Amino acid sequence: MDPECSQLLPALCAVLADPRQPMADDTCLEKLLDWFKTITEAGSSLLLLQENPCLVELLCHMLKPQDLSSRVLSFSLRLTGVFAAQEDCFQYLQQGELLPRLFGEAGPLGGAAWTAPTVRSGWIQGLRSLARHPSALHFLADCGAVDTIFSLQGDSSLFVASAAGQLLVHILGLSMQGPADGPPSLQAGDWPACAQKIVDHIEESLRSAATPQITQALNVLTTTFGHCHDPWTRVLWVRLSPLVAGLLEKDPVPAAHSLVDLLLSVARPQALRAQAFAVLLQPLACVLKATTQAPGASGMVDGTAGDSVTVDTLLPSKAACVGLLCRTLAHLELLLPLPQRPCPWPQASLLGAAVTLLQLCQGSASPTSDAGRHLCALLLGCVRVQRAALDFLGTLSQGTGPPELVTEVFAVLLEYLRSPDSSPTVLKKAFQATFRWLLSSPKTPGCWDLDPQALLFLRELLPVLQKRLCSPCWEVRDSGLEFLTQMTGRWGGQASFRHALLASEVPKLTEQLLRDPESYVRASAVAATGQLSSQGLCVSPASPEHLGGQQKSPLSELLHILSTDSEGFPRRAAMHVFTQWLRDSHADVVGDTEEFVAGVLQVASQDLDWEVRAQGLELALVFLEQTLGQPGSPCPYAVTPPVVAPARPLAQALQPLCRVRLFEFAFRALFDCDRPVAQKSCDLLLFLRAKTASSSSPQEARISPDVASVEAALQRWQAGDQAQPLGDLEPEVVLAVLRSMDLEGLRGALAESSDHVEKSPQSLLQDMLATVGILGENEADCY
């Protein structure tokens, strides 16, 4: 700790200990704690306490009966934990009986302060910090803390309850680290006392009839197995699995979702996996059964799924039904990509269930039983389930399915895309799922084109997309355009796709949406136009019957947007498109690349949006790389190979950069008021300097009057006066200026966050004292 802080600390401790000086802002306490954590991580806590006795005084002060604020008390408990994490410091605090008095029965635990959740939370976090060494374990056992933690698992505050569970996991792990000679046996006597106590408690909870207790135990186990894979956890599982298996046999299964979480986190229990999976699948089996006539046709779960009684138990009310189905779908979605997912994976049944679920929500399913009709009434028009089911359906596209089911998938997706009742968010998910299914549709070997079925689907899809692009709801137009961009990016080069798209109104509508009143839509239209134009799919200009009369090229359309659009999003999108076009050597750009780059940079440099300026630097970098002959990310599909000119003299190579005024743009950006722009420019110039360093020649290094005037201008720029332009720059001058600039220093300065001064601990302490008026600034006014 630096001396300035040491000096301020006693006053601060006095403020904290004084109940009459309420600490208004508790984020200060958090920052203070963070600071102490940093100090103790770097050095000895014991030394810190010895050098700053005020700290121990503060902690001792907490033991006196008084009206301390619960925040300060909580802070002190946590601070004690931070100090006691080091064993020598722990011993030091033990000697003063400070620890048992703070964390034992005599402390806040027995007092009125305990009613405040923040104090209970502080108590738990303090223990969590100090429980790092064997001495701490003895302490925990002696002061009876473990029993208190057990009871806190059911605390009314969710934060406290959750922290208590995690603390148990931590203590269990710590106590099992002790015995070094391999994992313990199954015998109870073999386990360290503390661990034994916790495991006994878990066993007892698992046998309990009360679901909350079972849930608590399951959560502790889930966290344990999720975080730790030491050999002892395997023994623990062997010991507890009969109890867990017992839970699975109950009907209904208690705390089903916590149980599933546990079984998912334990990759080992092969035997139970199928059973656990069945529990997870039960709601979907009900759904599937709702519309199938033949018993057992579900292929998922036999038995009672789909009976009225089961449906009533599992899915009694709309809220319960929706909640359970959404959780189930989310679980399955997470499970799907995992290597330990159950095998065989019932892909077909899950597909069927997802399709049925979507149909039930839409009212297009035909339920075959009363339970089915009940489900239908509950789910009709439910947006949450629709969204979850569409996400899930999209994820299922990674696997295959029987062809007739895949046909059904496309049919239900089309139904959603067509339905006037699909909400904008549902529609967006439907577009996403559709794209994923199109991606996964079977491909003819050696050909990237869409298969006949997908193509047939596409022909039906395009009129729908067309209509969606005319929707009065901007979110719908927006997601329609995003979908189009994705589709074009993927299949834009394929003949059948091109044919279908060009036969539709979609390209024309996209062009019209560049003038949409909603800026997000314009931005998406810019991206879509960029993609369409890259693939040569834009509408042919100036068709005589076109309403708007003459039509501009996509390039001039986007340039117009970049220079005139009042919103940032479309302009950013235009810059992204331009950068991509330059990278891909787009036909419109290749014609006169220099004019293109010069034009774009000029507009971008005046943009008020820093992201546009930053993107301008990205474009400048691409041009720079292409000019200097080292493409950063070579594009294998580029029509023309990047210009490679290693043999040219450097000055000549830099000429194009000067002609497009790239340096003026970069230097201006270097002193940009927005840090990311300045950083990016700095990186670009450093990159350029590195490139040119090797090939520098003596005559370029001379100091000319030009250089001096440029440097003078730059100094004025840095001071904030950017009115004067740099004028035409010669490559030699640029190189000289670059070499003379302290770019590394600038980069260092930019890397420091703007509030680095205000974030210092000294400033924090001063602020805290200032708020309670200790620093005396205001004292003179008091008379």
Partner 1 sequence: MKLYCLSGHPTLPCNVLKFKSTTIMLDCGLDMTSTLNFLPLPLVQSPRLSNLPGWSLKDGNAFLDKELKECSGHVFVDSVPEFCLPETELIDLSTVDVILISNYHCMMALPYITEHTGFTGTVYATEPTMQIGRLLMEELVNFIERVPKAQSASLWKNKDIQRLLPSPLKDAVEVSTWRRCYTMQEVNSALSKIQLVGYSQKIELFGAVQVTPLSSGYALGSSNWIIQSHYEKVSYVSGSSLLTTHPQPMDQASLKNSDVLILTGLTQIPTANPDGMVGEFCSNLALTVRNGGNVLVPCYPSGVIYDLLECLYQYIDSAGLSNIPFYFISPVANSSLEFSQIFAEWLCHNKQTKVYLPEPPFPHAELIQTNKLKHYPSLHGDFSSDFRQPCVVFTGHPSLRFGDVVHFMELWGKSSLNTVIFTEPDFSYLEALAPYQPLAMKCIYCPIDTRLNFIQVSKLLKEVQPLHVVCPEQYTQPPPAQSHRMDLMIDCQPPAMSYRRAEVLALPFKRRYEKIEIMPELADALVPMEIKPGISLATVSAVLHTKDNKHVLQPPPRPAQPTGGKKRKRASDDIPDCKVLKPLLSGSIPVEQFVQTLEKHGFSDIKVEDTAKGHIVLLQEAETLIQIEEDSTHIICDNDEMLRVRLRDLVLKFLQKF
DSSP 334-374: HHTT-TT--SS--HHHHHHHHHHHHHHHHT-----SHHHHH
Interface with partner 1 by CB under 8 A: which range of 135-143, 375-383, 742-750, 771-779?
375-383
Q: At what angle do helices 117-130 and 70-84 cross, to 10 degrees?
A: 10
Q: Does 363 bind partner 1 (CB under 8 A)?
A: yes
Distance separating alpha carbons of residues 628 and 615, to the nearest angstrom: 20
Find the binder of partner 1 among 261, 408, 516, 732 (CB under 8 A): 516
| Contact (CB, 8 A) for 506 and 498 | no
Nearest residue (CB) to partner 1, 32 versus 509? 509
Query: Could you tell me which of 767, 779, 759, 780 has the C-alpha nearest to residue 11?
Result: 767
Distance separating alpha carbons of residues 147 and 311, to the nearest angstrom: 40
Find the binder of partner 1 among 7, 38, 366, 753 (CB under 8 A): 366
Q: Does 478 bind partner 1 (CB under 8 A)?
A: no
Give the CB-side neighbour count of residue 770, counting CA atoms within 13 A: 8
Nearest residue (CB) to partner 1, 320 versus 377? 377
Distance separating alpha carbons of residues 726 and 81, to the nearest angstrom: 60
Give 303: exposed, middle or buried? Use CB within 10 Å, 0-12, 13-18, 19+. Answer: exposed
Binding mask 376-395 toward partner 1 (x if CB under 8 A, else -) reads xx--x---------------
Find the binder of partner 1 among 31, 170, 384, 515 (CB under 8 A): 515
Q: Does 473 bind partner 1 (CB under 8 A)?
A: yes
Tell me the closest approach of the beta carbon of residue 430 to partner 1, in angstroms: 14
Q: Does 293 bind partner 1 (CB under 8 A)?
A: no
Interface with partner 1 by CB under 8 A: which range of 3-11, 108-116, 513-521, 572-580?
513-521
Q: Does 740 bind partner 1 (CB under 8 A)?
A: no
Look up residue 80 and give its amino acid: T
Nearest residue (CB) to partner 1, 494 versus 512? 512
Distance separating alpha carbons of residues 501 and 415, to the nearest angstrom: 20
| Two tokens, residue 475 | 């979110």
Nearest residue (CB) to partner 1, 131 versus 382? 382
Task: From residue 274, give the alpha-carbon distance in Å to each of 8, 97, 284, 597.
Answer: 63, 53, 15, 61
Interface with partner 1 by CB under 8 A: which range of 184-192, 373-381, 526-534, 656-664?
373-381
Q: Is 183 helix (H, G, I), strand (E, B) or coil?
A: coil
Distance separating alpha carbons of residues 414 and 434, to the nearest angstrom: 8
Find the binder of partner 1 among 147, 200, 312, 421 (CB under 8 A): 421
Nearest residue (CB) to partner 1, 470 versus 693? 470
| Contact (CB, 8 A) for 221 and 238 | no
Query: Could you tell me which of 13, 21, 18 has the C-alpha nearest to residue 54?
Result: 13
Tell me the closest approach of the beta carbon of residue 150 to partner 1, in angstroms: 45
Find the binder of partner 1 among 193, 238, 330, 470 (CB under 8 A): 470
Q: Does 415 bind partner 1 (CB under 8 A)?
A: no
Listed in sequence order, the residues at least 6 apart from 170 whose beta carbon sits closer than 8 Å to its beta carbon are 128, 131
Nearest residue (CB) to partner 1, 261 versus 516? 516
Q: Does 122 bind partner 1 (CB under 8 A)?
A: no
Q: Does 586 bind partner 1 (CB under 8 A)?
A: no
Find the binder of partner 1 among 261, 478, 518, 732 (CB under 8 A): 518
Q: Does 373 bind partner 1 (CB under 8 A)?
A: yes
Binding mask 429-468 toward partner 1 (x if CB under 8 A, else -) reads -------------------------------------xxx
Interface with partner 1 by CB under 8 A: which range of 80-88, 259-267, 364-372, 493-501?
364-372
Q: Does 471 bind partner 1 (CB under 8 A)?
A: yes
Q: Does 367 bind partner 1 (CB under 8 A)?
A: yes
Q: Does 249 bind partner 1 (CB under 8 A)?
A: no
Tell me the closest approach of the beta carbon of residue 380 to partner 1, in angstroms: 6
Three-state SS string over 391-413 comes to HHHHHHCCCCCCHHHHHHHHHHH
Question: H or E element: which one contains 19?
Answer: none
Binding mask 540-559 toward partner 1 (x if CB under 8 A, else -) reads -----x-x------------
Question: H or E element: which one contains 773?
Answer: none
Q: Does 472 bind partner 1 (CB under 8 A)?
A: yes
Binding mask 619-648 toward partner 1 (x if CB under 8 A, else -) reads ------------------------------
Give the CB-side neighbour count of residue 94, counting CA atoms within 13 A: 16
Query: Could you tell me which of 442, 429, 431 has the C-alpha nearest to residue 403?
Result: 442
# of chain residues touching partner 1 (CB under 8 A):
31
Query: Could you tell me which of 407, 410, 599, 570 has the C-alpha nearest to residue 481?
Result: 570
Interface with partner 1 by CB under 8 A: which range of 231-239, 267-275, 514-522, 693-701?
514-522
| Two tokens, residue 590 | 């290749």
Query: Could you tell me which of 247, 410, 433, 405 has the C-alpha nearest to residue 329?
Result: 433
Q: Does 428 bind partner 1 (CB under 8 A)?
A: no
Tell me the closest approach of the beta carbon of residue 475 to partner 1, in angstroms: 11
| Contact (CB, 8 A) for 114 and 108 | yes
Distance separating alpha carbons of residues 44 and 28, to the nearest angstrom: 23
Nearest residue (CB) to partner 1, 466 versus 551? 466
Tell me the closest approach of the beta carbon of residue 450 to partner 1, in angstroms: 24
| Contact (CB, 8 A) for 469 and 507 | no
Interface with partner 1 by CB under 8 A: which range of 33-41, 413-421, 582-590, 615-623?
413-421
DSSP 533-552: HHTT-SPPS--TT-TTSS--
Nearest residue (CB) to partner 1, 515 versus 659? 515
Query: Under the rule (CB under 8 A), what is the footprint of partner 1?
Result: 363, 366-367, 372-373, 376-377, 380, 419-422, 466-468, 470-474, 476, 505, 508-509, 512, 515-518, 545, 547
